[in-house]
Structure 1
């Protein structure tokens, strides 16, 4: 991608990530907190992926998509958190132009993949609840694989557009990014050019990549709720609502809401301190909570985990 070449469009060879605080004591406290957060996130998502791989009972579409989501979450936080931790220890906090481009692109690919995956997972529950007799046909292995291919194709194309139209702008200084990683809105504030077109493009992309999947999710839930309320048994309605709606609604809300605020607002509303908090929420917090939400509210996952522990205890 020649348009991304810094030599043609920028005199900046590296950026400085300002992060959260310049006070050493605060930085060390944040370092400890985010390191634990990161390790727990990797452990939780890694455990879910391993359980789904090892237990044949989980070899169904719902858990297939959940395992992909867990892998995406582990990669998602790894794109930003290690860099943030290093910058908390080493005060220089620089990131090269190429690394910044790579980080932005990877972050966007994984973030867009999460948007699409959430919609796919809700569609899976919609088919299971509204069309149980046709579930194996509508969610066959080949269809699931095609859905994942489409998910990654959309993610790569969307990330390429975002990254290309952001990094082809001229950047001639200052080169201090008031963020903890190279995110599009924060980098755009440093451009030595009019970014109104980028604001419009970001809104259009946000509409396609955020609002369209969210609309599909909401439409699926309308049908799901209608089917649940037609269940005669009140206990059956409660179990269906508990296992499906609560977990997905929680996940969708904590991811989509801050992402839409970040990527669909006008550039004049830019607030670096608020943006850092929003980015933490849909990047770090959502990845941390996903395994907790899906495992603590899922009896099958808890039983499988206890079974694995029991087998290891017996083997020892």
Structure 2
């Protein structure tokens, strides 16, 4: 589903936001202002909107931010910093009974992009039940994986107290995910101090860790901090931290396959080749003959311009 960024908002039965995972986030201070001005003071616009979406007969809806909304304080404080011009919502329900809502998936596009369409909505409807199954089966269950790759990275420079002096754009978001505590308007006011304390502990842990590498497991995955001691010409001392979010090898390969010009079936076959599956195993999963599976494998080879099965994984990793 093409979008500039996405978010998933967990909500309780009353429609209160309890946690979130987002590819772009408001800083904690802005989240605190959002809570005061729009969440708590306005009987929660989020809660009203969420419950309305839950009660609707169609779990998917989409809209474009109009001129009136663009002149609002909410657009200035929330939507504009996140570069939101078009939005599509999908209500995800638990698979256990098919009715209990888990939360809301939101997909975003900037104003300069095309609006979401009925075809986009239909595509999202087709996958909501997969999300419901995944999220209701064992939420936050750790997944063991033998090989992990860096999915994204960020860096910052901190003083000895853990206060951030310099940071790149993705730093704050990754730190909040690594800390692992719920990200919601209710916790926003206390979050800046909690983040400083968390980073102070990370600096102490990395400075004494072997190879200056310290790993943290959170509900959002495994995160690795690498520590580099900096010293100025006048004796000032600071710490550079490189933070990596790690992803299991199959996830990285899937992300790579999605970026290549492959059909849906070719992406699936490419992933199975990269994971070392034989033509017979591919045939069994696709429900086709071994000869047909071999034909699909040759198509993938031609599309990726490779001549060996081991090269497929390399191409997906590079992508």
Query: Shared topology, TM-score over 0.5?
Result: no
Which of the two has higher C-alpha Rg? 2
Q: Which has the higher contact order (CA 8 A, sep 6+)?
A: 1
Structure with the bigger percentage of helix: 1
Structure with the bigger percentage of strand: 2
Q: TM-score range by the shorter chain?
A: under 0.3
